[in-house]
Structure formats: C-alpha cells, structure tokens
Amino acid sequence: MSIRVLVVEDDEDFQWLLRLSLQLEHDTTVVGVAGDGGTGVDLALREQPDVVVMDLMKTRINGFEATRRMKQIRPAVKVVVVTAFPVDNAICQQMYRSGVDALLDKRDVATALVPMIRSVAQS
C-alpha cells in the first residue's frame, strides 16, 4: 500500500525537488502540493494524506498553525517539518504544541526524507 503524501512548501524549486524524490519511490504517492499553509490545510482535508511534509513558511498561515489545524480535524495525519532555520528550544516547544511528528533539516532531505516518512507513517 502506498503512503499518501502532501507537500506544503513555498519555495517552488524545493517543492519540485520534494515531489520528484517522492515520485521516484515505489511506496509513496504525492496527492497534492501547496505553496502556503492555508492551501495545505484545504488540500489535507480534501486529499486525506497519510503524511504531510511541511515547511515552516511564513505566508498566509505558518507551518505550526497549519499543522495544528490539520491535527484538530484529522489527528491521525503525520506531519514532518522540513526547515532550513536553526531549531532552538522555543521552536521545539512550538512544534510539540502544534503536533509535529518529526523534524528534518532541509540539508538532509535527499538522504533522510523518505525513511522518515516511512517511519512516521508506521507509527
């Protein structure tokens, strides 16, 4: 069974990279791509992904708020946050409060994203 993945990322080049790397895998299906948190929430409700790959973008609704909204409506959805920002204690606390399931540095996406998606999808 394929893992249904929604990508929420504001950088179009990185969006393309995420989509391509996931489409190359036999066990992941990209069910949607959103450029901002609000659209991501709408797509998550419509497409019912198993996992959301979420950037901490700042347009319209940030990644924490989008995650919180998704989890309120669909608690079973798993959210993997990808970020290029340094993660400090305050960000970790926000992640915990919003319901983020995993965190990944954008520099590690090429090697760690798919294994992380598989891991959170099974938990």
Please give the structure tokens belonging to residue 46: 């419509």
Domains and CATH numbers, the chain: 17-82+97-108 (3.40.50.2300)
Closest CA to 27 of 8, 51, 47, 45: 51
CB 67 within 8 A of CB 100: yes
Q: What is d(CA 117, CA 39) in angstroms, rounded to the nearest whole number?
A: 21
In terms of Cβ atoms closer than 10 Å to its own Cβ (0-12, 13-18, 19+), residue 66 is: buried
Model-level pTM greater than 0.95?
Answer: no
Please give the structure tokens belonging to residue 6: 């929604």
Per-residue pLDDT 10s for the chain (123 aa) are 799 999 999 999 999 999 999 999 999 999 999 999 999 999 999 999 999 999 987 667 888 899 999 999 999 999 999 988 777 788 878 888 999 999 998 899 889 999 999 999 998
| Full DSSP string of the chain | -PEEEEEE-S-HHHHHHHHHHHHTSTTEEEEEEESSHHHHHHHHHHH--SEEEEE---SSS-HHHHHHHHHHH-TT-EEEEEESSPP-HHHHHHHHHHT--EEEEGGGHHHHHHHHHHHHHH-
pLDDT score for 89? 82
pLDDT score for 59? 67
